[in-house]
């Protein structure tokens, strides 16, 4: 149910102030929407490149996958798992998003003489794959955070454009018409009252001039 509008001057001021606030805030929201849309386009490109890099790294590592279990005493896949993914935060259009700083791994400790020469290369390639996956994960998180903010901003833009501003303008129009009608009515009643007073004054003056003079009373 729509909220009942008070057809008063204070209510008119309240709606005018609200309209001014909405019209001042809307351009800022629209600017933020544009900034988020452009940033998301750039991140989409980064995400596509990062996904392609992961696929390329997986193909490189694929050459070793079938022989990893033949290496006794060396957990190559375990050594290639990140021990820590370091990120920092940066602000985009008022949204704090992570950026990848570094991917750290456990120190690889195994005998260089007791293991095949390709193990070092396999570990290096598998760690490169882990870095690529970490980078892609951070980019995915960036995209999701900015996408959710964009949805929220678009909802607010639509709310201001399609609901708040039209409602405020309609309320102002309605209250102004009502107050104008009240003023017109008040002027009309004032004219009627003035005319009545003038008529009564004119009638009293005629009656006074038409009355016969009174004879003086003898003492």
Residue 54 structural domain:
9-171
Alpha carbon dihedral 93, 95, 96, 101, in 10-degree steps, equals -50
Higher-pLDDT residue of 150, 6: 150
Q: Given a cut of 90, is residue 207 above it in pLDDT?
A: no
Query: For residue 70, is it within any domain?
Result: yes
Query: For residue 60, is it within any domain?
Result: yes
Q: What is the pLDDT of residues 147-198, one digit of tens each?
A: 999 999 999 999 999 999 999 999 999 998 888 777 777 676 767 767 676 6
Query: For residue 68, is it within any domain?
Result: yes
Average pLDDT over residues 100-119: 81
- For 32, residues 6+ apart whose C-beta sits below 8 A from its C-beta are 93, 94, 153
What's the total number of domains in the chain? 1
d(CA 110, CA 75): 10
Question: Which CATH number fits the domain that encloses residue 123?
Answer: 1.10.287.3240
Query: For residue 156, is it within any domain?
Result: yes
Query: For residue 134, is it within any domain?
Result: yes
Query: For residue 207, is it within any domain?
Result: no
Q: Given a cut of 60, is residue 218 above it in pLDDT?
A: no
Quick one: pLDDT at residue 193?
A: 67
Query: For residue 51, is it within any domain?
Result: yes
41-46, Cβ contacts within 8 angstroms, sequence gap of 24 or more: 43/139, 43/142, 43/143, 43/146, 44/143, 46/139
Helical axes 165-210 vs 9-65, angle rounded to 10°: 180
State the pTM of this model. 0.75
Query: For residue 211, is it within any domain?
Result: no
């Amino acid at each position: 149910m729509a909220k009942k509008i008070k057809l008063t001057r204070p209510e008119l001021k309240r709606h005018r102030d609200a309209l001014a606030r909405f019209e001042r805030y809307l351009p800022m929201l629209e600017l933020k929407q544009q900034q988020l849309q452009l940033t998301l386009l750039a991140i989409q490109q980064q995400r596509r490149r990062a996904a392609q890099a992961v696929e390329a790294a997986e193909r490189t590592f694929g050459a070793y996958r079938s022989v990893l279990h033949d290496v006794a005493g060396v957990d190559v896949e375990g050594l290639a798992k990140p021990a820590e993914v370091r990120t920092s935060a940066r602000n985009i259009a008022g949204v704090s998003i992570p950026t990848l700083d570094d991917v750290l791994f456990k120190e690889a400790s195994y005998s260089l003489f007791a293991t095949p020469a390709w193990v070092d290369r396999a570990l290096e390639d598998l760690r490169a794959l882990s870095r690529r996956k970490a980078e892609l994960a951070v980019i995915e998180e960036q995209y999701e955070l900015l996408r959710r903010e964009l949805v929220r901003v678009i909802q607010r833009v639509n709310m201001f454009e399609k609901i708040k501003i039209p409602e405020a303008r309609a309320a102002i129009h309605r209250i102004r018409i009502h107050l104008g009608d009240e003023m017109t009515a008040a002027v009309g009643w004032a004219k009627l009252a003035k005319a009545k007073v003038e008529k009564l004054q004119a009638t009293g003056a005629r009656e006074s001039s038409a009355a016969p003079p009174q004879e003086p009373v003898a003492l």
